[in-house]
Amino acid sequence: MTTPILQLIFLLIFSPLRQLPPSKPATPTRIQLPNPPPTTLSVTDFGAIGDGIHYDTEAIQSTINSCPTTPPTKTCHVNFPPGIYLTATIHLKSNVVLNIQEGATLLGGTKLEDYPKEFNRWYVVLAENVSDVGITGGGVVDGQGLKFVKRFNERKNVMVSWNSTGACLGDECRPRLVGFIGCTNVKVWNVRLNEPAYWCLHIVQCLNTRIYDVSIYGDFNSPNNDGIDIEDSNNTLITRCHIDTGDDAICPKTYTGPVYNLTATDCWIRTKSSAIKLGSASWFELKGLVFDNITIVDSHRGLGLQIRDGGNVSDITFSNINISTRYYDPSWWGRAEPIYVTTCPRHSSSKEGSISNLQFINITANSENGVFLSGSKGGLLSNLRFINMNLTFRRWTNYPGGLVDYRPGCQGLVNHSAAGIIMEHIEGFEVENVNMRWSDYQNEPWDNPLDFRPSTVNNISFLNFHSAMYKQMK
């Protein structure tokens, strides 16, 4: 008789072994490392004085150059404590953000030697071919623009031009304020840009730019102090900005390449020129632009398209915009048009560009002049839509009217009576729910809601269009 112990031994020795399934390799555990905190360097630790008298350029640039460039450092904040930091041009590098604290001012120099030899690199702050850069902090970048005024004039200031030195040509020969050229992932937020001598914030050939909570103040009588110029750049967002300046406030341009996917929202604008202007530099395509929820106050022109150089414009939407436009001295481009769309060629040899698929939705305007829609023989305006608009035309300044402004180039200033909408060279114009009101201003009769030649305007549709006179309160 076999004992239980012997049975167990027998089973262990002679029973076939069971094949166990192969074990799965253990999945390695991924450890999520936190984003490294930004490095913070203070310009005062590198010798900046911040008295507004002595130049701090070397100390500021040394701080920027000392920012680490190797992982794991992601961002380097260059900190400006309260003070006034006078500087020549400073150059940003990748992953550097200027943190100009509240109470601090970065003050641009006013001498030619403060800027690089190449005039197209004249900026107080310049970033070239870098990524993940920006400016923030609640402080100020100031270009001392009033020190570039050669003669103050209530009509239009006469500005200093360094063309007499041979540094560049033209009357606009003076430095810009902030420039990003060929950059990726640009961010400018929570900062005030003050008194540019020329253009203020210039975005050139950049990809992925965010501009928000920025205040721009330029002298109202100084020409060429544009607010934000978006040049040959794609994927740009502008939001919650306050722009009060003499020249164009938001201005997309195409010199060497197209502008795609630009959105501007929730902005307040006052300007002696155009609040929003596409062009006049327009050699390449502008497409997929949206302007929404914008207030335009006391400006010389509201929404403007000046296509002069052969580029085509398409798929542009203006929506939820309140506009107030008035006359200023005719030395400024603009004649109080709330909406201005033109394609005439800059020169007799210039190519004519076209404008198509343009929408104006939920627009309210209170203006001293009417809408101007002017294509050209080779540059038609096509598929325009006015939807849900209230247009009020009245006079409250003493500047003379009776002019149509084709500038730059084209026919210049042309005598023409006031009209609600002037149209020429249009193929396809849809008007729906538009209310037009006219004051009874005696010195300039408002008696022509629509002014056009049927030979150049085709396929117009009006649905619920209303025009009437109203008594102007004195």
The domain locations on the chain are 37-247, 279-473
DSSP class of residue 185 equals E
**What is the model's pLDDT at position 206?**
98
Instruction: With residue 2 as reference, give the H or E element that holds it.
Output: none
Q: Give which of 120, 62, 119 is closest to 87, Cα–Cα.
A: 62
CATH superfamily to which 37-247 belongs: Single-stranded right-handed beta-helix, Pectin lyase-like (2.160.20.10)
Half-sphere exposure (CA, 13 Å, Cβ side) for 375? Answer: 27
| Entry pTM | 0.91
* pLDDT score at 35: 63
DSSP one-letter code for 349: T
What pLDDT was estimated at residue 69? 77
Strand partners, 136: 99
Q: How far apart are the C-alpha atoms of 49 and 70, rounded to whole Å?
A: 29
In which residue ranges of the chain is pLDDT below 70? Answer: 1-36, 72-73, 441-445, 472-474
Burial per residue of 1-40, b for 16 or more beta-carbon CB atoms within 10 angstroms, e otherwise: eeeeeeeeeeeeeeeeeeeeeeeeeeeeeeeeeeeeeebe
